[in-house]
Amino acid sequence: MNKFWSPQINDLVPYTPGEQPKIANLIKLNTNENPYPPAPGVKEVINSFESDRLRLYPDPESSELITQLAESYQLPKDHIFVGNGSDEVLAHAFMAFFRQAKPLYKPSITYSFYEVYADLYGIELVDVPLTDEFAIDLQQYPSENGGIIFANPNAPTGVALPLTEIRALLDRNQDSVVLVDEAYVDFGGESATQLVTEYPNLVVTHTFSKSRSLAGMRVGFAFAHPTLIDALNRVKNSFNSYPLDMLAIATSVAALKDKSYFDATCEKIITTRENSAAALKKLGFEVLPSATNFVFAKHRYIEGAELMGFLRTKGILVRHFSKPIISDYLRITIGTDAEMQAMLDALKTHPDIVELPIGDGE
């Protein structure tokens, strides 16, 4: 309790980001960053940037980026919103759409920032359990709701829903906003992006942080019907008119333009993911099917917290969540092949991990 604070601040439970270590040479497989650098064009933009320009404010509308997004995703510009990371886009969406008389529904296991925003904006939130296979169970979402939000593919499970299920949800849920967070969709999920021209209550959010290797730039975006984009702009312009700085706009445009680099790095990560999942299974892990740049895995005998601590002593960071249903799991970001090999080699030195013969890993 502090008498200077607004009363609500005492009860806030802020989001806890994964560790960004100050120690050099750790292998970071804990925050789903991309192991490959951004597209070469990004470096050119930064090297040729004239610092004198910084005395001016950036374009409040980020028009250059909106124009490039419209071209890359083949959608009209009035269907696009950009923000300072998709976290900011999500925050504005909570403010713009979910402060309703009825509660907002989300999966019991999903991106933990949703409950933080709900708390910040005083939104009642209801958890809907996952299936036994850790899939989002859209059938269980009630018709009376003040909104529905989920990540697809989901985090931290990595499990993806087919587009047919999202379409079916949108067909029966037309009186509230459905927000699909597609932070990981480029690693193998089916995107709902093109559905925004059909369903006026759908919002799809994306980020440059994962598949475009620009986590340090903080750029996110959303697709939706112009009426919803209008609401997001009202909130944005009541909060910060210049969320994207000049370098963020210019580098994200450069990243978008290089489609072949983007495709190649996503493909590489998918291949490494499949190889890593197979190798983890041989070490006695159960690995959920992943459509993301991470795997969610639990060892048959060893607790998640213990394994995370063990890997840390070997200089390898992975993420562990203490929530009961998932506390035996580790979320391991897909790094380079060499980083994943180092992680697997470290696991093999654990006294209770034995490698099964080839072909016995399923």
By C-beta, is 146 or 156 nearer to ligand PLP? Answer: 156
By C-beta, is 79 or 319 nearer to ligand PLP? Answer: 319
By C-beta, is 203 or 302 nearer to ligand PLP? Answer: 203
The C-alpha atoms of residue 343 and residue 75 are separated, in whole angstroms, by 41
Could you tell me the smallest distance in angstroms from the CB atom of residue 284 to ligand PLP? Answer: 27
Q: Token pair for residue 183?
A: 């932070």
By C-beta, is 218 or 298 nearer to ligand PLP? Answer: 218
Count the site residues for ligand PLP by CB under 6 A. Answer: 12
Could you tell me the smallest distance in angstroms from the CB atom of residue 87 to ligand PLP? Answer: 3
By C-beta, is 204 or 287 nearer to ligand PLP? Answer: 204
DSSP state, residue 116:
H
Q: Is 183 in the site for ligand PLP (CB under 6 A)?
A: yes
**Span from 43-51, 58-66, 71-79, 207-215 in contact with ligand PLP (CB under 6 A):** 207-215
Which helix or strand (DSSP H or E) is residue 224 part of? strand 220-224
Could you tell me the smallest distance in angstroms from the CB atom of residue 277 to ligand PLP? Answer: 19
The C-alpha atoms of residue 14 and residue 9 are separated, in whole angstroms, by 10
Please identify which residue in 26, 215, 342, 344 interacts with ligand PLP, judged by CB under 6 A: 215
| Burial annotation 15-47 (CB, 10 A radius, 16+ → b, else e) | eeebeeeeeeeebbbbbbbbbeebbebbeebee
By C-beta, is 151 or 170 nearer to ligand PLP? Answer: 151
Q: Are 270 and 188 in contact (CB under 8 A)?
A: yes
Please identify which residue in 181, 186, 328, 339 interacts with ligand PLP, judged by CB under 6 A: 181
Give residues 29-58 in contact with ligand PLP (rule: CB under 6 A). none
**Contact characters 116-155, ligand PLP, x per CB under 6 A:** -----------------------------------x---x
Which stretches of 30-135 are assigned E, i.e. beta strand?
Answer: 80-83, 104-107, 125-128
- Which residues are within 8 A (CB) of 74 and not within 5 positions of it... i.e. 6 or more apart? 194
The C-alpha atoms of residue 69 and residue 219 are separated, in whole angstroms, by 12
| Burial annotation 185-205 (CB, 10 A radius, 16+ → b, else e) | bbbbbbbbbebbeebebbbbb
Please identify which residue in 157, 207, 252, 276 interacts with ligand PLP, judged by CB under 6 A: 207
Q: Is 310 in the site for ligand PLP (CB under 6 A)?
A: no
Could you tell me the smallest distance in angstroms from the CB atom of residue 221 to ligand PLP? Answer: 9
Could you tell me the smallest distance in angstroms from the CB atom of residue 113 to ligand PLP? Answer: 7
DSSP string covering 51-75, please? GGGGGSPPPTT-HHHHHHHHHHHT-
DSSP state, residue 293:
S
| Burial annotation 88-113 (CB, 10 A radius, 16+ → b, else e) | bbbbbbbbbbbeeeebbbbbebbbeb
Q: Is 251 in the site for ligand PLP (CB under 6 A)?
A: no
**Span from 2-10, 85-93, 192-200, 280-288 in contact with ligand PLP (CB under 6 A):** 85-93
Q: Token pair for residue 299?
A: 């060892």
Which residues of the shown chain bind ligand PLP in the complex (CB under 6 A)?
85-87, 111, 151, 155, 181, 183, 207, 209, 215, 220
